[in-house]
């Protein structure tokens, strides 16, 4: 049975949803409407076999299309690289990287919005910068429990990408930067299409930004409603092809878009963050063979 042609493996809070939406509009690409769909980090699904996963999500898709999937947390889970290489050694990988300090702030704000983070950003970062906290955070499996303890370590891109470069080699990995997707989406999309061996397109959503972050919601009680049994029953009766756009448009309305940046916080906090990422940046540059957009901030 045909397997996937490509995977978007991360990084979380770096523009993967925008990239997912753009590629989903390509006439020769199929990506399941539900983003994420973890397989390689779900022990139960992995034990059930990849053919079952394909049957559930790609059964009626023409084999002439390129099959893809976006699961951003694959980059952050140490189980994923070897499992992907075992099942799909020829798959192409796409990763998009954001300034790691900005990514940490966006990750934190998402946790606040979800109601799982009570600390201030300064308090959370200072706690996670402690050596023992860093070591423990790197060992945490991907999951809801790890969300509030990985603001920093999920931005250690060199460490996270090293297993993928070891398993797949540089030629099978396309690395993009969030800044390029925001400032030059046309050229960035052209790079992706070329990497996949496809003609380029200009999707209707080109230039739009999806899942822009914020720390507050207009309807914070909506999450509680989602746990009510009869509401969940009605929701699952809605055809799958309608759920994804409905979820997206509700998110667009519900999340209060707020401008926030590290400049709004203590200047020493940003310096501490960039000082931490300095060592990892050297490894990342070695892997990629190119400069990093945030390199001038590293000191």
Question: CA-to-CA distance for 47 and 85, rounded, in angstroms?
Answer: 16
Number of domains in the chain: 1
Q: What is the mean pLDDT of the chain?
A: 88
Residue 123 CB neighbours (<10 A): 10
Q: 248, 241, 252: which is closest to 33 by C-alpha?
A: 241
Q: What pLDDT does residue 257 have?
A: 54
Q: What pLDDT does residue 204 have?
A: 77
Buried b or exposed e, range 70-98, using 16+ CB within 10 angstroms:
bbbbbbbbebbbebbbebbeebbbbbbbb
Whether residue 233 lies inside any domain: the answer is no
Q: Tell me which residue range forms the domain holding 164.
A: 6-216+255-297
Residue 123 in tokens: 């308090």
Question: CA-to-CA distance for 88 and 251, rounded, in angstroms?
Answer: 33
Whether residue 1 lies inside any domain: the answer is no
**3-class secondary structure for the chain?**
CCCCCEEEEECCCCCHHHHHHHHHCCCCEECCCCCCCCCCCCHHHHHHCHHHHHHHHHCCCCCCCEEEEECHHHHHCCCHHHHHHHHCCCCEEEEEECCHHHHHHHHHHHHHHCCCCCCCHHHHHHHHCCHHHHHHHHHCCCCHHHHHHCCCHHHCHHHHHHHHHHHHCHHHEEEEEHHHHHHCHHHHHHHHHHHHCCCCCCCCCCCCCCCCCCCCECCCCHHHHCCCHHHHHHHHHCCHHHHHHHHHHHHHHHECCCCCCHHHCCHHHHHHHHHHHHHHHHHHHHHHCCCCCCHHHCC
Whether residue 228 lies inside any domain: the answer is no
Model pLDDT for residues 229-250, shown as the tens digit of each residue = 677 767 677 776 566 566 655 6
Whether residue 247 lies inside any domain: the answer is no
Whether residue 224 lies inside any domain: the answer is no
Confidence of residue 177 (pLDDT cuts 50, 70, 90): very high
The CATH number assigned to the domain holding 212 equals 3.40.50.300
Whether residue 147 lies inside any domain: the answer is yes
Q: What pLDDT does residue 133 have?
A: 97
Q: What pLDDT does residue 180 have?
A: 94
Q: What pLDDT does residue 171 have?
A: 97
Question: CA-to-CA distance for 95 and 12, rounded, in angstroms?
Answer: 10
Q: What pLDDT does residue 216 have?
A: 54
Question: CA-to-CA distance for 271 and 98, rounded, in angstroms?
Answer: 17
Q: What pLDDT does residue 254 have?
A: 57
**pTM of this prediction?**
0.84
Q: Mean pLDDT across the stretch 283-293?
A: 97
Q: Mean pLDDT across the stretch 198-208?
A: 81
Report for 27-41, 81-95, 100-114, 263-277: range of highest mean pLDDT: 81-95
Whether residue 246 lies inside any domain: the answer is no
Is residue 26 packed enough to be buried (19+ CB in 10 Å), middle (13-18) or exposed (0-12)? buried
Whether residue 42 lies inside any domain: the answer is yes
């Amino acid at each position: 049975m045909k397997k996937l042609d490509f995977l978007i493996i991360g990084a979380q809070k770096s523009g993967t949803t925008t990239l997912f939406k753009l590629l989903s509009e390509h006439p020769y690409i199929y990506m399941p409407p539900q983003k994420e769909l973890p397989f390689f980090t779900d022990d139960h699904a992995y034990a059930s076999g990849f053919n079952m996963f394909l049957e559930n999500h790609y059964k009626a898709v023409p084999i002439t299309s390129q099959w893809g999937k976006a699961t951003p947390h694959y980059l952050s889970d140490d189980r994923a690289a070897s499992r992907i290489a075992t099942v799909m050694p020829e798959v192409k990988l796409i990763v998009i990287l954001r300034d790691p300090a900005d990514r940490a702030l966006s990750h934190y704000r998402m946790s606040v919005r979800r109601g799982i983070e009570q600390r201030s950003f300064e308090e959370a970062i200072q706690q996670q910068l402690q050596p023992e906290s860093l070591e423990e955070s790197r060992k945490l499996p991907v999951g809801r429990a790890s969300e509030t303890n990985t603001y920093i370590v999920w931005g250690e891109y060199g460490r996270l990408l090293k297993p993928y470069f070891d398993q797949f080699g540089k030629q099978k990995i396309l690395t993009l930067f969030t800044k390029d997707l925001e400032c030059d989406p046309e050229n960035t999309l052209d790079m992706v299409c070329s990497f996949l061996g496809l003609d380029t397109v200009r999707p209707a959503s080109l230039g739009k930004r999806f899942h822009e972050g914020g720390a507050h919601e207009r309807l914070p009680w909506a999450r509680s409603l989602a746990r009510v049994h009869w509401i969940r029953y009605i929701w699952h009766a809605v055809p799958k092809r309608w759920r994804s756009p409905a979820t997206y448009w509700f998110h667009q309305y519900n999340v209060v878009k707020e401008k926030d940046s590290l400049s709004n916080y203590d200047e020493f906090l940003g310096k501490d963050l960039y000082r931490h990422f300095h060592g990892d940046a050297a490894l990342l540059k070695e892997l990629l063979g190119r400069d990093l957009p945030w390199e001038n901030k590293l000191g």
